[in-house]
Structure 1
Amino acid sequence: MASKDLRIHLSKNHNLIKICLGVSALLIIILVIVLLIFTIFKPRNPTVSVHPLHLEHFQLLSPNSSIAPLGLVITIENPNYASFKHGNCSGYVKYRGIVIAEAPFGARSYPARSTTNVTTTADIETAKLINDPNFWSDIAGGVFNLTSEAKISGKVSMIKIIRLKAKIYLSCGISLNITAVNATSSCMSKLKL
């Protein structure tokens, strides 16, 4: 009778050991996945640059129009292991804090670890510029500084399994050198999940 009780007791301990090993293995797998997400797959901010197009043809003060179209190429480098997708949205161009143009962005996807060029046009409202007392001194100095801002809401997709809502905040300074007919830009971006 005692040997039968001992076998039952050992059998229960054996099952308990299997359960403990299984739970331990599962916890180790979860820990490794979490570490991978927070190290290798850690979300990084995209790198953005803005390049005005055809500045030699840009007519800021055309007598026949109250709008001066400024073509823009926005280069977005996605360093993440996740793709980003958004619907239609807009960015805004400002002169000394006043919105002078809207730049529309159509729905688009940015693949993981890739660089994408987005072309858009900002229709600058010249009346808003003319009414600013600083505008004429900036033009006389040969440099015209603008800022642009955008908030892009979309979804991040990693390995086609994990999908999260995300927002990208963009802020750029654009300096148009009217004399040399060139431009420089400096951008900051922030990705929030």
Structure 2
Amino acid sequence: MAAKEQGKPLAPANSYHPRSDEEEVIVSSHIKLYQRKYVMCCGCVSALFLIIAVTAIVLGFTVFHVQGPRMKMNDVTIQRLEITNGTLRSDTNVTLLADVSIKNPNVASFKYGNTTTRVYYNGKEVGQGRAPAGVAKARRTMRMNVTVDIVPGEILVVPGFKMEVLSLKLTVSTYTRIQGKVKILMVNKNVVVELNCTMTYNFASKGIEREDCKQRVSL
């Protein structure tokens, strides 16, 4: 009787129940959906980084690319030039006024130090002048006057000066140098602009008759 009353043995707790085909399909679809979302997320992130990189490169070569300011000699006026019998008075300094413009094509201001202008006659330096430091605003053109004192004692000893003065014309060369910085975002770029001009001044018209300028920019 005892043997008959004994119950059936219980199934082990960790017994394996095989999944049905329906359960396998559901799990497989969840895995594929997760993989699809993961791939889409990675693709979106990669595309975003690519767009940022391309935009940065384009801006670096266009808007944020530092360009050299353009300098131009607009006009030159010679004052206090007194000639008697074809001779320049040696007791009075001659003043040369140079009208110079600086065009800044950058999206940031161009801050520059003192501007130096030297005047040469037949290769000999006969005068030098300076203009104070300043700022050329972004994409603007700024004009300034540079005053150069020419010492008669220096120019009188240069061969050919008297003959040229008698013709009421004077050919001189000028060298102007500007050094400054352009700051775009967190980058400071040193800029040096040099302008060499050769011009013929007409005493009768009191203006430049012929001019040839060449600019050099160092970044």
TM-score (norm 1): 0.79
Q: Is the 8 A contact 1:157 1:164 kept in 2?
A: yes
Three-state SS of the structure 2 residue aligned to 1:138 is: helix
Alignment of 1:161-180 (within 5 A): 162-180=187-205
Three-state SS of the structure 1 residue aligned to 2:159 is: coil
CA distance in 2, matches of 1:161, 1:49: 32
Counterpart of 2:120? 94
Alignment of 1:176-191 (within 5 A): 176-184=201-209, 185-191=211-217
Counterpart of 2:55? 32
Q: Is the 8 A contact 1:50 1:172 kept in 2?
A: no
Of 59, 69, 74, the match for 2:100: 74
Offset at 1:85?
0.7
Offset at 1:45?
4.7
Counterpart of 1:127? 153
Alignment of 1:102-113 (within 5 A): 102-113=128-139
Q: Is the 8 A contact 1:166 1:192 kept in 2?
A: yes
Counterpart amino acid of residue 132 in structure 2: G
CA distance in 2, matches of 1:31, 1:48: 36
CA distance in 1, matches of 2:131, 2:34: 66
Counterpart amino acid of residue 141 in structure 2: T
Counterpart amino acid of residue 48 in structure 2: A
CA distance in 1, matches of 2:124, 2:38: 72
Classify 1:17/1:58 alpha carbon distance in 2 versus 1 (closer, same or farther; 3 Å). farther
Q: Is the 8 A contact 1:149 1:172 kept in 2?
A: yes
Offset at 1:97?
1.9
CA distance in 2, matches of 1:37, 1:12: 37
Cα deviation code 1:112-148 (max 9, x no counterpart): 2212111121011222211111212222232211111
Cα deviation code 1:59-114 (max 9, x no counterpart): 4723423x322222212233333321112241211112222111202111001221
CA distance in 2, matches of 1:103, 1:20: 62
Three-state SS of the structure 1 residue aligned to 2:146 is: strand
Question: Which consecutive unaligned segments of at least 5 residues does structure 1 have?
Answer: none
Q: Is the 8 A contact 1:68 1:124 kept in 2?
A: yes
Counterpart of 1:51? 75
Cα deviation code 1:137-176 (max 9, x no counterpart): 2222322111111232210134x65432211121222321
> How many residues are aligned here?
190
